[in-house]
A = this chain, B = another copy of it.
Amino acid sequence: MTKNKKKKLLDSKDYIPHLAYDSVIFGFNGTQLKILVLEYHNTNFFALPGGFVKRDENLDDAVKRGLRERTGLDNIYLEQFHTFGSLSRSEPKIMRKILKESDFDLKENYWMFDRFISVAYYALINYDEVNPQPDELSDSINWYAIDELPPLMMDHQEIVEKALQVLRDNLERKLVGMKLLPPKFTMKQLQQVYEAILGEKLRRTSFQRKILALDILQRHEKLFQGKAHKAPFLYSFN
């Protein structure tokens, strides 16, 4: 490797020290609930997409910026759910290895080995319209089913579990299920989202009656799937 390859990743004077965010980005492929997980170059470290907050930037905006860079999407449904601030969660050795394997200068990036408090957000996106982009440090970013995750580094497994817990609580309270679907969807698709999030089967007729009684869905034309049975209606939310 050449000498001038060793460079600065982010300038510490632009960012709030000790503060990071992590995002649990949920998608639904029709069957399984998935999240985006990235892998750092040559390390076998799997992690949630995260980032830092600029000194002149709102916390929420920093997270939106990171999501935009990774998914190309704007106006994503985003919810802050917890801030992780234990001492033990920071592991400078891991950060050191990540930077080293991507040929970044360890001295210039020294602030990244400090202790970090991380504000965690979850995002709900339409799986189909996303082509995830890795960042400078990452080999890849890929969808993983929530029950088939690779071993995540540091406390990221705990962050995912908390996200899922809060998402379940918010499913009925905030009617957030449809954020994981395209604008028009069938009742069956919506039920499958609910089932994937709750991790249990639901009764078709009760589910349908309950959702329709909420009076929040608009009914549109039928969807002809080319299958040998009655075609379902399409619905939209808002």
Contact = CB atoms under 8 A, between A and B. Distances in A.
A85 interface: yes
Interface residues of A, number: 23
A115 B55 contact: yes
Given A80-B82, A82-B80, A56 B87 contact: yes
A219 B82 CA distance: 36
A58 interface: yes
A60 B86 contact: yes
A51 to B, nearest CB: 13
A210 interface: no
Give the oligomeric copy count: 2
Given A18-B18, A19-B18, A173-B169, A85 B119 contact: yes
A31 interface: no
Contact of A58 (B17, B55, B58, B87): B87
A53 interface: yes
Nearest to A88: B58
Interface of A: 16-19, 53, 55-60, 80, 82-87, 115, 117, 119, 169, 173
21 contacts: A16-B18, A16-B115, A18-B18, A18-B19, A53-B85, A55-B115, A56-B87, A58-B85, A58-B87, A59-B84, A59-B86, A59-B117, A60-B85, A60-B86, A80-B82, A80-B83, A83-B83, A83-B119, A85-B119, A117-B119, A169-B173
Given A19-B117, A58-B86, A59-B86, 10 more contacts: A16-B18, A16-B115, A17-B17, A18-B18, A18-B19, A56-B87, A57-B87, A59-B83, A59-B117, A60-B85
